[in-house]
Structure 1
């Protein structure tokens, strides 16, 4: 409970992986999976109390505005008070529609009560990790679940209304045979056949031996062997509702080399960097031949790092102590070869791993059924006092690179951080009732754009403006706020108005008033202004004289024009500006302007 933890993480304005709030429920895991390094070095289990987690969840959600919260640990389902805590979160944040998602959970801990609580707000994803397809191999790795438990868990998830389930498996595990690979195929097919119309995402990773685990001495399979197994799984699981993904075998090879490497690999890292290596987790940047050349330049046979190690010899990490004794790891390795399980020590049987005695620690398990916390509920009412408000906002500077969806997400999270009582849609995936009328193209600034928001209860416009001002990203500003007293109507708009001027850092001399007036004169003098452009891979031809309604020189370095709203086959604004000005798009700063009501009727008649 006293361990430091971040309660105000950075919130990205673009969508990222794991784009949600996270709080740490516990550290350590004593399940004893023999391939898992984290399960060994983070022992013993230390769980935060429900009251501590309740406080932490409130701080993180208030600071981030996230609409999804993920309580994380090495084995989230093993948290002693997991059902009480999920029920507390769902009840407390029901009006704010905060969804709860759990990371990969053990089959036995995914109960019907837990599933029903999670679906009360929104169905988030479910992931279970059998790791191996056959009961024999699961005994080898000490994954104490049988096939019937896996099938029953899948049935509970799908019967509760979920349409997607993710399964994690590993290949290349010690003692693995072809029977174990086919067992993965049979298990996935059985689930798919029993639940027609449901989606299975099957992730196949390659076993990489890790230090401080019972499998630290085992060999890692050759990439060619791994590739054959991947191809077999892909071919045999070719099913409309089963999607198979697997890791690049050469990336796994490098993971294995550096996982059990020694100090000689430092020179390889430097050499690979000099040759241009970087962002290796991104497939488009990974270059296996570059790494082969780097190893060769350093005179190192990298395949030798994948070999089986002698348990009686020193390893490069033998001088590091994590608490788990070497004798315990050797004993677990022998039990794996005999297919013997090791029970979870949190059930009361000490397995003498050495952590508690060497580090002076003991397991800390959270108390369960803490009813005083569950009664701290928010009063919910069915009375409808909702109101619509209209925001006029601008998006300038670096914020112009936010897409329409990213802008909508950034505004929603800012409103949640500001404490505005947002109204939400109904159904299985509730969303805040926020309406952005115009999708301003990426890279173009805008002024006076309109956004309508429904609130559960009235809030004074000046209070909305002040609250949002402190929470919005740089470059997004609220210009005006008003309450819509009549039926909500979209703002009238028959054309879009844009301003062109030199981009920051560009020499403006080519855009003086004489040049601008010449561009305007050339445009109006030409009977037609045909251009070709490409959208969605299709080439179109358009006449700008039918699209650009007005073209005006405003000052020595500014041009304004109006574009008729003619549909999806209109060229992009940047293309229009570039063709009129006869300059590259990156040399132009383009700003979308509000069209005054007095101009609307004239634009309508012109269009």
Structure 2
């Protein structure tokens, strides 16, 4: 079971039902020191209560029961769904009735889809039911599930380097849906597109070799995927190689990935004195000849230790930048700057040194 603080729920309720007066409350709370309120340890209800008092706003006004016919603060926002439909849904909720999910059943005529738009998330329920019934009537066994997979490589550069791993997952879900491709979805209460990603990069790092594996409900030719996806990509994301994954082949998650990273100072910064091709070669020699090479990393107040002896498989300096090869798999990993700093014995902070992934090659698990 999951519980939430009543004070947090009260604040969320006020902001979800409030009006323009809350802008003053929000600014006042910020000036009083409110930060990172979604984190339990940072949320201070007394501070928010003070902000409401100083702005002369009573949050209970927003939380009281309302007349369904009364105008709402956000009525001027057109989300495409008609007010009458929402009121009808409210009545159904009070009666314990449900509305079928239009992704798997009939259209509920909510008004969100403009004329000509067709829901492409799932095939219509009636089509799937009719096919299943006809096969059962003929005494045929259910058709075995066939997975249609494509493996994509893409670059993440420029403004896209600031996207986190979770944001990239959301982005690709939207891109594939906009492209109109028959993406397969997971089962369960919250269906999600069946996507497998290469290990997430640190926020701020660029890459020429991100890997994404997509499962479809129907076969999708490589040329069709390239033609449809490319126009839907945002600035900084560009599509590279697209390959079909033959049936029965290992999935992306079955491999480790051997990744080559370039580390270079951000202009006008330079490498610390003593970081040279020779010192990099000596660092690689020390790593190669050791039985173990533990590296301690502290992040968000927590300290952890990783042995990089088996996962760092290359290290050198050439043409004014460091090159480091790291094998990412199911075990404990390490970030390129942390590994390079430990090998050289000098700090390479992310605000002064940029990381760019140059390549990523699948290797048998545990044999990087």
The answer to whether the 8 Å contact 1:516/1:559 transfers is no
Cα deviation, 1:338-372, whole Å, max 9, x if unaligned, reads xxxxxxxxx9xxxxxxxxxxxxxxxxxx9xxxxxx
Report the Cα offset of residue 576 of structure 1.
Answer: 1.0
* 2:185 equivalent to 1:421: no
Call closer, same or farther: CA 1:458–1:584 in 2, change over 3 Å: same
Call closer, same or farther: CA 1:532–1:595 in 2, change over 3 Å: same
5 Å-filtered alignment, 1:48-447, equals 245-248=4-7, 275=32, 284=42, 286=44, 288=46, 292=50, 378=124, 379-380=127-128, 381=131, 387-426=148-187, 430-436=191-197, 438-443=198-203, 444-447=205-208
Structure 2 counterpart of 1:515, from 259, 272, 275: 275
- Residue aligning to 1:482: 243
Cα deviation, 1:230-271, whole Å, max 9, x if unaligned, reads xxxxxxxxxxx6x6545329977xx7xxx9xxx9x9999987
Distance 2:178 2:27 in 1: 44
Call closer, same or farther: CA 1:423–1:520 in 2, change over 3 Å: same
Report the Cα offset of residue 561 of structure 1.
Answer: 1.4
The answer to whether the 8 Å contact 2:147/2:247 transfers is no
* 2:316 equivalent to 1:555: no
Cα deviation, 1:454-510, whole Å, max 9, x if unaligned, reads 32333332221121122234332210222334533346656332221224xx42433
* 2:260 equivalent to 1:502: no
The answer to whether the 8 Å contact 2:269/2:352 transfers is no
Report the Cα offset of residue 388 of structure 1.
Answer: 2.4
The answer to whether the 8 Å contact 1:520/1:553 transfers is yes
Report the Cα offset of residue 435 of structure 1.
Answer: 2.8
The structure having more radius of gyration, on CA atoms, is 1
Structure 2 counterpart of 1:451, from 212, 217, 221: 212
Call closer, same or farther: CA 1:291–1:518 in 2, change over 3 Å: farther
Distance 1:406 1:266 in 2: 27
Structure 2: gaps (5+ residues): 61-69, 72-90, 92-108, 110-118, 133-142
The answer to whether the 8 Å contact 1:402/1:442 transfers is no
More helix by share: 1
The answer to whether the 8 Å contact 1:250/1:288 transfers is no
Distance 1:273 1:515 in 2: 44
- Residue aligning to 1:3: none
SS state at 1:497 partner: strand
Distance 1:494 1:277 in 2: 42
* 2:356 equivalent to 1:591: yes
Distance 2:161 2:23 in 1: 42
- Residue aligning to 1:331: none
Distance 1:456 1:269 in 2: 46
Q: Tell which has more relative contact order, 1 or 2 (C-alpha 8 A, sep 6+).
A: 2
Cα deviation, 1:273-326, whole Å, max 9, x if unaligned, reads 655568888873646358759968x9x9x99x99xxxxxxxxxxxxxxx79xxx
* 2:297 equivalent to 1:533: yes
The answer to whether the 8 Å contact 1:497/1:595 transfers is yes
- Residue aligning to 2:104: none
Report the Cα offset of residue 521 of structure 1.
Answer: 3.3
Structure 2 counterpart of 1:466, from 227, 244, 260: 227
Distance 2:258 2:9 in 1: 54
Structure 1: gaps (5+ residues): 1-240, 307-321, 324-346, 348-365, 367-375
The count of corresponding residues between Structure 1 and Structure 2 is 283
SS state at 1:465 partner: helix
TM-score, with length taken from structure 1: 0.37
